[in-house]
Chains A and B, each alone.
Chain A
Amino acid sequence: MTTKLLEARDLCAFYGSTQALFGVAFGIDAGGITTLLGANGAGKTTTLRALSGMLRTSGDVHFDGHSIAGRATEDIVRLGIAHVPEGRGTFVRLTVEENLHLGATTRRDRAGIAADIERVFVYFPRLKERRDQQAGTLSGGEQQMLAIARALMLRPRLMLLDEPSFGLAPLLVQELFAILRRLNQDEGVSLLLVEQNASLALDLADSAYLLETGRVVMAGPAPEIRKDEGIRRAYLGY
């Protein structure tokens, strides 16, 4: 049994009085890539939002020895969980560089922040060319890069990625996923990936959870999930 970086038990989440998650349990290996699969409305985004403290929840979430269930988003971020939200959450009126600085809001080491900005530019050279542009003028792909770069500025232990491939051209998606793999290997960032594109996600991930209407219905190592007959039909489409 490997150590879990994050462990959720009996996690329920609510939008107002509507319950969206029903006792979800899962774990994320330290240094690993975990993916949440499922159809539209299965509760993938909800799970990420629950982990970040953006919803009313009940149940247990432990991250790196801390109980984070019910804590404020701002405090969860400070423990090293970076959330790249659905729709990227770009500050469109601010420049690329200001967006990156915001990613380092919780840090106080000026020199380290400046060095890290140059470091993320190595991963995302196109952002460097556009560092003084308003982020809203970037293309969708560039904004997704910016969202990931901004999350990296936190120096996170765990990154939550909500459909990073959404709306991107296939070539860009491949580039993006190659970068995610490098981030995982070189920077040691654990990833929790939510994807509609199950095939892509299973290629990248070590382990996978399948959500259906707010419940985990299947879990296992990614290669095994890929082989499963039902998954193949329903989510991989062959």
Chain B
Amino acid sequence: MRVLVPVKRVVDYNVKIRIKSDQSGVDIAGLKMSMNPFDEIATEEAIRLKERGIASEIVAVSMGDAKCQETLRTALAMGADRAILVETTVELQPLAVAKLLQAIVERERPSLVLMGKQAIDDDSNQTAQMLAGLLGWPQATFASKIEIGDGTATVAREVDEGIETIRVRLPAVISVDLRLNEPRYASLPNIMKAKKKPLDTLTPEALGVDPTPRLQYVRVEEPPKRKAGVKLASVQELVAKLKTEAGVI
């Protein structure tokens, strides 16, 4: 079966972002960019399915400007077979991404879409659920364990109360959580090989999707800052402060 893995290019999780002085957005110029960590986990899971003989082909998809090719090359170096870039300079929001993915799913006919549960830049946690809705497919979000059976997937989900297990019919969209697996690093030979793997470029127009943003970011500002407090010398001092100064115990 074919597995589709959407991957997003985001500011590396170790990098501290800056807010533009005119509050128009986040200044990401010149910052180190990486594949969204949750998407790395999704890519890894797809590769493991292929290694176990369950998946036959892995197609990685990214969207945005031409630099997203780097993210796709990372997926190819990890083990994806081919890649598709939907190239656009329009700011892509989750609903637009879901519609573009829907169009790609209709062309590629995968049995499974494996994707990160959330991107660490806009923290929306929407795209997988939206894609499943648009396709009329089942969804299994926040997966921490995936077993593919005969036309179904049994998925353990990380929920607030603990772990929930559901079974979904295939084709389905599965969004992955942190503890599903530990993604591999691409080896140097595989990075070289990835350069020769096919990478097709499409546009929103070619896919018949209007990607215009629905939400307007009116202002982006620094969050209220906490001031560093005081370092205390003893447990007794701490208990006294919590009682009298803070009044919380």
Q: Do A and B come from one complex?
A: no
Chain B contacts to A: CB under 8 angstroms: none
